[in-house]
């Protein structure tokens, strides 16, 4: 059962990652929140007690939707707690597939209260893991050309991680990474080796007063993300009713995303029966694009790359201090109210280049945000939301425009044990600004957007599930490369049919229409905005030929259509084999063929990578894509992995652009990893 549940959770993780990158990223690539789904490994050894678990802890596992979490908590309150794990079957809306996924990671045994575990035990009896990973692209990119070399380092990607944890109560470790093209044990401040280092120490329930203590790198989540949300979070996805932000305020951070975290210290305190408070502070040296006056920066760089002389010159240029806290009040179990504050200080003023679209962007050195959030559950209804504003903004150049409000309000409704509905309304004023906002929305940053989202999930029969959402939105002000207010609409429908441990198949339709700016020529001061529609249909099937061998097949077909370029169509087909026996050897492989007119018609596809090194790539153009992943666990406590992937164009076009161009019609990537757990 545990092996099957882990496999089911792996499929859930794959779908979430695929949805997140397809929604947020323009180029796909490595999933940088690579540690976001490792929590279940701790719960596999020390299961989460359902009689003590909070809503945030349950939602952080990604095993339940927010509505399922609400129903579980309502049942626990009604019955006064769980007596047996088999009571999960009595909870409305908790289907058998979800229960099977949960079983290896949860318990209802009171057992030893974690608060009483001595700190020495936490340190000495924890689970340790060491990751060593390396990889590179075999074809030489233009940036490494010896006659005109622009990249200062080698094409190797290197990764190291050590981590020790005791369930979800203690975690500490170090992460280090070097991206391709970056210097390794080089000059100046890179003498230390890796370009990026992260260190964290995190303990939960240190005693009855200290609920969480974080040192080093950690993530912070306030409310629905209107003023601060670091770490992993997702919005529109095939999990159509999972849109509310809900996770513990402080969490350990051990991923390789180089900007979405806080580096410093934070603490959550239990102030009594109904009150809880969190305070934190941190400082990071951020990459910034230095302005011509050398006294300010025009933007903060979020790529994480430091490969060229110019990129290195911008590295660690801006000192960013982040501080804040929140106060949470729970007068009854079903109601929670929070008041939040976040302050930011930059040692160099942030002065974006003057343009109409960024008229309302933050300018200066200091920014403060305040918000109030709420969550209330009654019967089959769960209300959630947040309202945020700018407390102060300015510095060396005081903002000329007052900050506006941002708000988000949502309602989860359990229509029936077999039907769930979520309604979410957001309104983010163009004048609102926050440096670390990540709320639900069509665009990042929580500004210049008004929208309404409706999500539905139906479970009409034992093996059937239907998911659908509709989202409509409007941008009342200009956006980058869009010289007028614009709007958009999107819908998605998925019908899933599952046979326990045998078949998992779904059919999906997805369409998005929104405004795009097009070049109107030199005679026009403002470029026109036209609607562009992207449509995609998908048929996916996963069939377990034997308990150890699974075959997966997928076909995607779609088009992009607008008034300027007309309709462009394409398709993608892949065949996967996954062999995971009880023995030491396992493998995953893929062969894919795709044909599209270019990047405008692209299909995002998840690829099995080395452990905690997931990838989602956009398939476009004309060509073939294949990969082979090998895993060996025949040596005690060790896991050895190797992966090779190759793209081959079939129309003679070369791959890459700019410094990443290879002038080749093929691209080959190799990687290997050693994992030691003890």
Q: Can you tell me the distance from the alpha carbon of 453 to that of 18, in angstroms, rounded to the nearest whole number?
A: 20
pLDDT at 5: 42
Q: Which residues of the chain carry a pLDDT beneath 50?
A: 1-9, 25-28, 111-115, 396-398, 400
Per-state percent for the chain, helix, strand, coil, to nearest 5: 15, 50, 40
pLDDT at 422: 96
Q: Can you tell me the distance from the alpha carbon of 27 to that of 616, in angstroms, rounded to the nearest whole number?
A: 9
CB 377 within 8 A of CB 70: yes
pLDDT at 651: 93
As its CATH architecture, domain 2-677 has: Beta Barrel (2.40)
Which has the closest alpha carbon to 59: 247, 255, 258, 323?
Answer: 247
pLDDT at 560: 96
Give the burial string for 252-275 (b: 16+ CB within 10 Å, else e).
Answer: bbbbbbbbbbbbbebbbeeeeeee
Q: Can you tell me the distance from the alpha carbon of 246 to that of 527, in angstroms, rounded to the nearest whole number?
A: 40
48-49 vs 106-107, strand pairing mode: parallel
What is residue 537's three-state secondary structure? strand
Which has the closest alpha carbon to 591: 648, 651, 506?
Answer: 648
Rg (CA), the chain: 25
Angle ∠(220,224,230) on CA atoms, nearest 5: 30
364-378 vs 666-677, strand pairing mode: unpaired
Query: Which residues have a Cβ under 8 Å from the Cβ of 215 and sit 6 or more positions away?
Result: 200, 201, 202, 265
What is residue 430's three-state secondary structure? coil
CB 557 within 8 A of CB 571: yes
- DSSP state at residue 86: G
pLDDT at 219: 92
Query: Which residues have a Cβ under 8 Å from the Cβ of 461 and sit 6 or more positions away?
Result: none
Give one DSSP letter per residue of 262-293, joined into a string: EEEEEEEEE-SSSEEEEEEEEEEEE-EEE-TT
pLDDT at 33: 57
262-270 vs 250-252, strand pairing mode: unpaired
Q: How many CB atoms lie within 10 A of CB 62?
A: 20
What does the block give as tokens for 180?
Answer: 């391709």
Q: Can you tell me the distance from the alpha carbon of 617 to that of 27, in angstroms, rounded to the nearest whole number?
A: 7
Q: Can you tell me which residue has the tokens 């109560």?
A: 169
Partners of residue 635 on adjacent β-strands: none
Of the CA atoms within 13 Å of residue 205, those in its CB half-sphere come to 13
pLDDT at 190: 56
Of the CA atoms within 13 Å of residue 569, those in its CB half-sphere come to 2
CB 584 within 8 A of CB 632: yes
Q: Can you tell me the distance from the alpha carbon of 151 to that of 309, in angstroms, rounded to the nearest whole number?
A: 8
pLDDT at 27: 43
Which has the closest alpha carbon to 478: 405, 527, 513, 427?
Answer: 527
Cα dist. 139→524, 641, 665 in Å? 43, 22, 10
Cα dist. 178→301, 643, 659, 662 in Å? 17, 19, 18, 21
């Amino acid at each position: 059962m545990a092996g099957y549940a882990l496999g089911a959770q792996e499929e859930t993780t794959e779908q979430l990652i695929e949805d997140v990158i397809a929604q947020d990223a323009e180029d796909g690539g490595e999933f940088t929140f690579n540690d976001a789904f490792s929590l279940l490994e701790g719960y596999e050894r020390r299961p989460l007690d359902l009689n003590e678990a909070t809503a945030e802890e349950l939602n952080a596992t990604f095993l339940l939707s927010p509505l399922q979490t609400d129903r579980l908590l309502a049942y626990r309150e009604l019955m006064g707690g769980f007596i047996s794990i088999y009571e999960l079957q009595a909870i409305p809306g908790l289907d058998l597939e979800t229960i099977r996924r949960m079983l290896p990671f949860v318990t209802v045994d009171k057992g030893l209260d974690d608060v009483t575990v001595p700190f020495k035990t936490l340190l000495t009896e924890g689970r340790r893991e060491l990751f060593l990973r390396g990889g590179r692209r075999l074809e030489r990119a233009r940036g490494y050309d010896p006659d005109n070399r622009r990249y200062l380092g080698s094409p190797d990607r290197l990764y190291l991680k050590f981590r020790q944890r005791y369930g979800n109560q203690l975690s500490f470790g170090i992460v280090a990474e070097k991206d391709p093209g970056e210097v390794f044990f080089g000059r100046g401040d890179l003498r230390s080796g890796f370009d990026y280092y992260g260190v964290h120490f995190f303990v939960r329930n240190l005693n009855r007063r200290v609920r969480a203590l974080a040192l080093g790198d950690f993530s912070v989540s306030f409310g629905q993300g209107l003023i601060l949300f670091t770490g992993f979070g997702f919005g529109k996805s095939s999990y159509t009713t999972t849109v509310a932000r809900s996770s513990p305020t402080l969490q350990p951070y051990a991923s390789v995303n180089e900007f979405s975290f806080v580096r410093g210290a934070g603490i959550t305190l239990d102030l009594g029966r109904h009150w809880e408070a969190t305070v934190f502070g941190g400082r990071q040296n951020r990459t910034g694009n230095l302005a011509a006056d050398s006294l300010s920066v025009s933007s903060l760089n979020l790529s994480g790359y430091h490969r060229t002389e110019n990129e290195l010159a911008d590295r660690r240029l801006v000192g960013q201090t982040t501080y804040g806290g929140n106060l949470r009040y729970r007068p009854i179990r079903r109601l929670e109210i929070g008041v939040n504050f976040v302050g930011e200080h930059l040692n160099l003023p942030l002065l974006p280049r003057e343009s109409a679209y960024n008229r309302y962007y933050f300018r200066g050195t200091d920014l403060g945000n305040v918000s109030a959030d709420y969550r209330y559950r009654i019967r089959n209804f769960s209300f959630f939301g947040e309202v945020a504003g700018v407390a102060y903004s300015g510095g060396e150049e005081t903002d000329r425009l007052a900050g506006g409000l941002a708000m988000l309000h949502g309602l989860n409704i359990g229509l029936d044990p077999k039907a769930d509905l979520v309604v979410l309304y957001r309104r983010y004023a163009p004048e609102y600004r926050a440096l670390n906002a990540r709320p639900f929305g069509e665009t990042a940053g929580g500004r210049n957007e008004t929208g309404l989202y409706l999500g539905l999930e139906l479970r009409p029969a034992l093996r059937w599930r239907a998911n659908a959402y509709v989202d409509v939105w409007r941008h009342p002000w200009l956006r980058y490369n869009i010289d007028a207010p614009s709007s958009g609409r999107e819908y998605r429908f998925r019908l899933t049919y599952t046979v326990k441990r045998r078949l998992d198949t779904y059919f999906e339709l997805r369409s998005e229409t929104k405004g795009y700016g097009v070049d109107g020529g030199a005679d026009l001061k403002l470029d026109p905005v036209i609607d562009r529609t992207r449509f995609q249909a998908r048929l996916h099937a996963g069939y377990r030929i034997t308990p150890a061998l699974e075959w997966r097949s997928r076909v995607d077909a779609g088009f992009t259509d607008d008034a300027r370029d007309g309709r462009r169509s394409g398709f993608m087909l892949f065949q996967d084999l996954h062999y995971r026996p009880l023995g030491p050897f396992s493998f995953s492989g893929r062969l894919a063929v795709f044909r599209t007119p270019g990047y405008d018609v692209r299909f995002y596809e998840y690829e099995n990578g080395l452990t905690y090194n997931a990838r989602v790539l956009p398939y476009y153009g004309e060509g073939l894509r294949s990969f082979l992943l090998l895993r060996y666990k025949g040596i005690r406590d060790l896991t050895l992995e190797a992966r090779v992937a190759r793209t081959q164009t079939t129309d003679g076009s070369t791959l890459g652009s700019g410094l990443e161009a290879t002038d080749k019609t093929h691209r080959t990537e190799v990687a290997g990893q050693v994992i030691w757990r003890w």
